[in-house]
Amino acid sequence: MHVPIVKSILTSNDQIAAENKAVLDQHGVVAVNLMASPGAGKTSLILATARSLPAALRPAVIEGDLASSIDAELMAKNGIPVVQINTGGNCHLDAPMIRSAFPHLPFGEFELLLIENVGNLVCPANFALGAHLALVVASVPEGHDKPYKYPGMFAAADVVVLNKVELKEVFEFDPDYFWRGVQMLKPEAPIFEVSCRTGAGVAEWAAWLAQHVAGVATQNT
């Protein structure tokens, strides 16, 4: 009895996710679903990316958290349009939650929507939101074994960013082992090493993202 119920929930979510994507396409907005464990640096990466994007590519943010609006307030302080979603205990965002945020977004004033999912390396990979790109953010302090321990998440990634690379020596991080794990699961996924603290690699990542957004926009015209 449980399998049909779960399948029904996911089917309904996927349908709403497709509707979300249609709305975004209609407004000329490309959405990115940022997924990571707590503390990997999703918020820091969003802010660093926003500072490095071309001026013509304006971002907005949906913040997903169990509770509080701390990250959303930080986005607003930096002049980025933002909507907060508190899941009330759910370990992931879903398509209906994203749909509920749309009326509060200033469509026409941004071209890139960065969706910061709830910190979790399991559940978010299973729920489509309507985003055009799935980004997995990992960080050096988490260890180089994360792709092997959470294959579902990394298999769902369209692109992977490794954050806090300035700490590789401190944590004896093996980048080759990490990247082999990623490439076994998603060999076509681009990989970027960045430090949001020092700025290393951020420009390259932001340039790739801007190019990807332009490509999606061209396909939708």
How confident is the model over 34-63, as pLDDT tens digits?
999 999 999 999 999 999 999 999 999 999
- Looking up residue 29, the CATH number of its domain turns out to be 3.40.50.300
- What angle is formed at CA 210 by the lines to CA 45 and CA 104, rounded to 5 degrees? 70
**Count of domains observed in the chain:** 1
The strand pairing partners of 193, in sequence order, are 162
**pLDDT digit string, tens, across residues 181-218:** 999 999 999 999 999 999 999 999 999 999 999 998 77
Domain of 202 in residue numbering reads as: 2-219
Q: How far is CA 212 from CA 112, 133, 218, in A?
A: 11, 9, 10
- In total, the chain counts a number of residues equal to 221
pTM of the shown model: 0.94
